[in-house]
Amino acid sequence: MANSSGGVYGRPRKPNGDDEGGSTPPERPRDGGRTSGRASVSGSRPGSSRGSYRSGSSRPGGGRGGSGGNGSSRPPAGGTGGTYGQPKRKIKPRWGRIALVLGGLALVVALLIGGGVWLYGVNLNSKLQKTDPFSSIVGDRPLKTVDGAMNILLVGSDSRDPDTDMSQASSWRADTIVVVHISADHQHAYLVSIPRDLYVYIPKTPGAQYGDTYAKINASFAWGGLPMAVQTVENYSGVRIDHVVSIDFGGLKEVVDALGGVDMYVDRTIKSIHKPFRTFQKGNRHFDGAEALDYVRQRKQFPDGDFARMRHQQALLKAMLDKATSAGVMANPGKLNAFLQTLTKAVTVDKDFALTDMVLQFRSMSSDKLTFLTSPNLGSATRDGESVVLSDKTKALALYDAMAKDTMEAYVTANATSSPSAS
């Protein structure tokens, strides 16, 4: 764009003087006749000397104009100083482009990490031993009344054989039967221990040799594996079971060791009836896997027998959860992986159970969010020459109705105690 003095900003003048205004050619510099090839910025009028800088001449921006004219300096090309000695233009960083590149890199890293975690989860779940404990259930099952709430049947087997098929009848019986109710908001869990000698009706499932009779509830596992155990618990409680987890005592030992042991309180000094006949002194104690397994199997040394064993089993579950959710495990990838890998070898689950989903959903659930209960009962009695535990049907109905309706918090406040007892 031409200005009033005839120059064009940022463009060299033509040496033959054919620019606007008919100006004369610029003087040749003293460097041997070579022109600078740069634009004149002196602001002189036509006919004045312009174009080259001589010794002692004023440079643009120095406060003096060129020879002739009004003495004002024309703004240099680009709006800054003159050609020689012109300050370098600052290159502003393109923050938008930088942010875009960094954002893209962050997304790639996140996808790689997310993909790695997903693959790890898939691999972990593929190692679980799975069965279908619901396939052979006949008749109407209890309805699921509250979305989000979850009921898990936890069965502890006295099997010592890690290859035992939990879906089939066997000579092994269930030493531990716990219905775990998780509230719809996934903030609380209620673990209801069912006495293994509870006298209940056991329905007959397809292919089972026994059933359709009253017996101790743990017989259902021996007669028909997990399918019969699930149907028996559902029939007794009226609560729909969503998932099943079975763990044998040998696997339990390995899981405790993978956690680095657990801490429990021994409520009275006893001597084990199993080799190597350990003595458990009253007080706080750290247990490794073998010691924990030995301790929670003891019952004959306690006045309340199997109810004491249920208390100790609950204490072990609490201690394991405390350790599994502690910073020492959750913040240590090596320990966490060892725990999860060992857990996959120790349990048998239903075909829809996903270990990684459970870990993610309940990773923030600490032991103070657990409430331990026992299925209401009338204590011991004799049936057909056997010592059994009789159900308190009225109180049991209230408990399991609260479980089905997800009103366990109100039930606990109004009725329950947290320790298993024969009452």
pLDDT score, position 103: 62
Q: How many residues does the chain have?
A: 423
Question: Does some domain include residue 189?
Answer: yes
Question: Does some domain include residue 275?
Answer: yes
Q: Beginning with the edge strand found earlier in the chain, give each strand of the sheet holding 150-157 in spatial order.
A: 129-131, 347-350, 243-248, 150-157, 174-182, 189-193, 370-374
E strand or H helix that includes residue 340: helix 333-346
pLDDT score, position 401: 96
Same domain, 77 and 205: no
Same domain, 9 and 62: yes
pTM of the model: 0.68
pLDDT score, position 39: 43
Q: Which of 326, 170, 213, 305 is nearest to 260 (CA)?
A: 326
Q: Which of 186, 189, 181, 182 is nearest to 371 (CA)?
A: 189
Same domain, 60 and 204: no
Domain final position from 73, 90, 107: 90
Q: Which of 378, 411, 415 is nearest to 239 (CA)?
A: 411
Same domain, 317 and 235: yes
Question: Does some domain include residue 109?
Answer: no
Question: Does some domain include residue 111?
Answer: no
pLDDT score, position 229: 92
Measured CA to CA in angstroms, residue 316 lies from 114, 137, 157, 212, 391 at distances of 34, 32, 15, 34, 25
- Helical pair 393-405 and 219-237, crossing angle rounded to 10 deg: 70
Q: Which alpha helices (H) appear in 174-305, and where do they start and end?
A: 219-237, 249-258, 289-296
Say how many domains are in the chain: 2
Same domain, 147 and 282: yes
Same domain, 257 and 370: yes
pLDDT per residue over 352-382, tens digit each?
888 877 777 776 677 788 899 999 999 999 9
Question: Does some domain include residue 166?
Answer: yes
Same domain, 271 and 358: yes
Same domain, 52 and 172: no
Question: Does some domain include residue 100?
Answer: no
Same domain, 148 and 83: no
Domain final position from 28, 63, 90: 90
Same domain, 132 and 33: no
Distance CA 45, CA 66 (A): 9
Positions in the chain whose pLDDT score sits under 50: 1-15, 17-24, 29-69, 71-73, 78-82, 111-112, 114, 160-164, 166, 171, 423
Question: Does some domain include residue 421?
Answer: no
Question: Does some domain include residue 118?
Answer: no
Q: Which of 150, 146, 145 is nearest to 181 (CA)?
A: 150
Same domain, 145 and 53: no
- Helical pair 249-258 and 289-296, crossing angle rounded to 10 deg: 140
CATH number of the domain that residue 289 is part of: 3.40.630.190
Provide the residue range defining the domain that includes 247.
127-414
pLDDT score, position 192: 95
Distance CA 239, CA 141 (A): 9
Same domain, 135 and 73: no
pLDDT score, position 327: 72
